[in-house]
Amino acid sequence: MIYIAPSALAADFRRLEDELKDVERGGADLLHVDIMDGHFVPNISFGPFIVDFMRQSTSLPLDVHLMIERPELMLQEFQRAGADRITVHAEACTHLHRVVGQIKDLGIHAGVALNPATPLNVLDHVAHELDLILIMTVNPGFGGQRFIPAMLPKIREMRRRLDEQGLTHVHIEVDGGINEQTAKQVIEAGADVLVAGSSVFNEADRAEAIRRLRG
Ligand code: DX5
Ligand code: ZN
């Protein structure tokens, strides 16, 4: 099963509710929600206040991607705002295992994201606690960037390690530059949750765009 998660960052925020309803009707499985703090990444998006509006505008599960420093300080706020899963960056957590535990204590799914230059080894002692691993396929901060092909062997190796440890239930999510072509490649490499911003929201027919990503 392949899950498609349109990234709200690429929606037209003047008509946010309609945009979210449109991708929900179009067959999206999750709504990906990018939170940027201007420190961890060189851009600022929005906070729990807007996530709460999103929660009221769609019944899609909210897949919250925290690109923020000290994410442990904000977990509860995002869970209260409606997050169904929270993904933190390994690079932003001094005590990664503890933060993962804090997310799970909130009763929601936990994920860890890795920037393109971060090796898989940082997950060695937490993978068994996770619901998902997010392999960034661009350097985070902006929508509409080009997919980094060197991430394909990284995805393949992550899938191999999960299989080897019997962790077949852990999702591998990819984020950045996913379009019809790169979707095929990441699925073949072992990813099963595909985040797509511009390749869904920049198309007039979102249902068709989502169908094409599923391959
Ligand atoms: C990048 C964000 C992505 C972004 C993807 O920092 O984490 O979720 O919205 O956008 P596209 O699909 O346009 O690369
Ligand atoms: Zn994201």
Whole-number percent of the chain with pLDDT over 90: 100
* Residues 177/146, Cβ–Cβ less than 8 Å: yes
Ligand with the closest atom to the CA of 178? 1
Q: What pLDDT is attached to residue 72?
A: 98
How far apart (Å, rounded) are the C-alpha atoms in residues 47 and 49? 5
Going from the C-alpha of 155 to that of each of 35, 159, 193, 200, the distances in angstroms are 23, 6, 12, 22
Q: What pLDDT is attached to residue 203?
A: 98
Cα 4 to ligand 1 centre (Å): 13
What are 13-21's contacts with CB under 8 Å, separation 24+? 16/53, 16/54, 16/57, 17/53, 17/57, 19/201, 20/54, 20/57, 20/58, 20/60, 21/57, 21/58
Q: Is 45 annotated to bind ligand?
A: no
Q: Which amino acid is at 40?
A: F
Residue whose structure tokens are 């990819």? 174
Strands 193-196 and 85-89: unpaired
Q: Is 144 annotated to bind ligand?
A: yes
* 29 catalytic per annotation: no
* 34 catalytic per annotation: yes
> What pLDDT digit, counting tens, does each position of 101-144 carry?
999 999 999 999 999 999 999 999 999 999 999 999 999 999 99
Q: What pLDDT is attached to residue 215?
A: 86
Residue nearest atom 10 of ligand 1, based on CA coordinates: 143
> What pLDDT digit, counting tens, does each position of 150-170 carry?
999 999 999 999 999 999 999
| Sequence ranges of the domains in the chain | 3-214
* Residues 200/23, Cβ–Cβ less than 8 Å: yes
Whole-number percent of the chain with pLDDT over 70: 100
Going from the C-alpha of 7 to that of each of 11, 60, 64, 133, 194, the distances in angstroms are 8, 12, 10, 17, 10
Residue nearest atom 6 of ligand 1, based on CA coordinates: 140
Going from the C-alpha of 152 to that of each of 89, 112, 157, 190, the distances in angstroms are 19, 18, 9, 9
Cα 32 to ligand 2 centre (Å): 6
The whole-model pTM stands at 0.98
Q: What pLDDT is attached to residue 103?
A: 99
Q: Which of 29, 34, 37, 63 is catalytic?
A: 34
Write out the residues surrounding ion ligand 2, Cβ under 5 A: 34, 65, 175
- At 66, is the pLDDT very low, low, confident or very high (cuts 50, 70, 90)? very high
Q: What pLDDT is attached to residue 48?
A: 98
- At 190, is the pLDDT very low, low, confident or very high (cuts 50, 70, 90)? very high
- At 146, is the pLDDT very low, low, confident or very high (cuts 50, 70, 90)? very high
Q: Is 198 annotated to bind ligand?
A: yes
Q: Is 38 annotated to bind ligand?
A: no
CATH of 3-214, one of 2.30.29.30, 3.40.190.10, 3.20.20.70, 3.40.605.10: 3.20.20.70
**Ligand 1 pocket by C-beta < 6 Å: which residues?**
7, 9-10, 32, 34, 65, 138, 140-145, 175-178, 195-199
> What pLDDT digit, counting tens, does each position of 11-41 carry?
999 999 999 999 999 999 999 999 999 999 9
Q: Which amino acid is at 5?
A: A
* Residues 213/199, Cβ–Cβ less than 8 Å: yes
